[in-house]
Amino acid sequence: MIMKAVVFAYHDMGCTGLNALINAGFEITAVFTHADSPNENHFHGSVAQTAQDKGIPVFMPEDINQPACLEQLGALAPDAIFCFSYRQVLSQQILSCARFGAFNVHASLLPAYRGRAHLNWVLIKGETETGVTLHRMTSRPDSGPILAQQAVSITAEDDAFSLHTKLVAMAGDKLASWLPALREGRLIEQRQDEAKASCFGRRKPEDGQINWAESAENIHNLIRALASPWPGAFSEANGKRYIVWKSHFSREPHTDAPGTILSTDPLVVACAAGTLEIVTGQCEEGVKLSGAELGRRMGMAKGQISVK
């Protein structure tokens, strides 16, 4: 049976999901996506271009829940709706347009890490595992019954980009079998356990400020969670901001105040518990530098406590 689908998608996960639907034999009648923001780093693939290359109509409404869009979706009369990293919440009216329902791929092991920035949050929280989840959409985002899941390990070397790449690849791999099984009614829905649910909310660039009164391990996790192409974790020295792109941490105890520069080559900073080596960083305007060169450029000195 050929199933007609309308797709709501953005970013790399959106391109992967769209291609997976096409490869699984779904008829895509329309794709809704977002215009790229001029304030963002556009390192990701373009859903709009992917759809246009396949001859699929593309729409970019500012408000998907406006009456004109609802009327348009009603006229399309899709059998199913699929959502991949789309940034607007779809109303119940939209979800109800699809005869067989609406389905979302979320890059976490639901019910854990619902909502925004789940990729960053699992790293910030020091998790060693996350995953991808296919679930039925309901009026509560990321809360509908689970149809399939696959775990993805988080290694000590992973940062935001490497984990993002793993999750997108895993989604593409699993959708190749999940989508035919969904169409044929072979996936069994399981209600989410609300007792295990978590949601930490969206993040803003200013949330990347390093608090040296945290443990070195927590600061290291923040740094890798915001590594390039994300905006980066940052601090200040001598009144100037700098970004930390890569770090190592040690749990070795010390007696210095948090923020004290313990060494300039390598560049090591005291934390509330343990120490953090800044391996790679960047002045607010400039190129990436070694920690030692960054310290020189920022005028840091051993024993200085001007680091915020």
Residue pair 32/82 in contact by the 8 Å Cβ criterion: no
CA atoms within 13 A on the CB side of 136: 20
Residue pair 80/29 in contact by the 8 Å Cβ criterion: no
SS (H, E, C) 145-200: CEEEEEEEECCCCCCHHHHHHHHHHHHHHHHHHHHHHHHCCCCCCECCCHHHCCEC
Q: Percentage of the chain surpassing pLDDT 90?
A: 93
Where does the pLDDT of residue 43 fall: very low under 50, low under 70, confident under 90, or very high at 90 and above? confident
Q: Give 190-229 as a DSSP string.
A: B---GGG--B-----GGGGB--TTSBHHHHHHHHHHT-TT
> What's the one-letter identity of residue 3?
M
Interstrand relation of 4-9 and 80-84 (parallel, antiparallel or unpaired)? parallel
Distance CA 33, CA 9 (A): 5
Reported residue count of the chain is 308
**Per-residue pLDDT at 306 exceeds 80:** no
Where does the pLDDT of residue 308 fall: very low under 50, low under 70, confident under 90, or very high at 90 and above? low
> For residue 9, what are the CA distances in angstroms to 15, 146, 186, 214, 308?
7, 19, 25, 37, 39
**Per-residue pLDDT at 76 exceeds 90:** yes
Strand intervals (E) in the chain: 4-9, 27-32, 58-59, 80-84, 102-106, 129-136, 146-153, 233-237, 240-250, 261-264, 267-270, 275-283, 288-290
Over residues 77-87, mean pLDDT: 97
Burial class for 254, CB neighbours closer than 10 Å (0-12, 13-18, 19+): middle
pTM: 0.94
**pLDDT tens, residue by residue, 203-245:** 998 999 999 999 999 999 999 999 999 999 999 999 999 999 9
* Residue 216, pLDDT score: 98
Q: Does an H or E element contain 122, and which?
A: helix 118-124
Where does the pLDDT of residue 195 fall: very low under 50, low under 70, confident under 90, or very high at 90 and above? very high
Distance CA 117, CA 140 (A): 17
Locate 91 and state its tokens.
Answer: 């109303």
**Per-residue pLDDT at 286 exceeds 90:** no
Hey, which residues does 276 pair with through a beta bridge? 249, 269
Where does the pLDDT of residue 182 fall: very low under 50, low under 70, confident under 90, or very high at 90 and above? very high
Residue pair 14/47 in contact by the 8 Å Cβ criterion: yes
Return the closest-CA partner of residue 24 out of 3, 45, 10, 48: 3
**Widest CA span in the chain:** 71
Q: What is the mean pLDDT of the chain?
A: 95
Locate 200 and state its tokens.
Answer: 């930490």
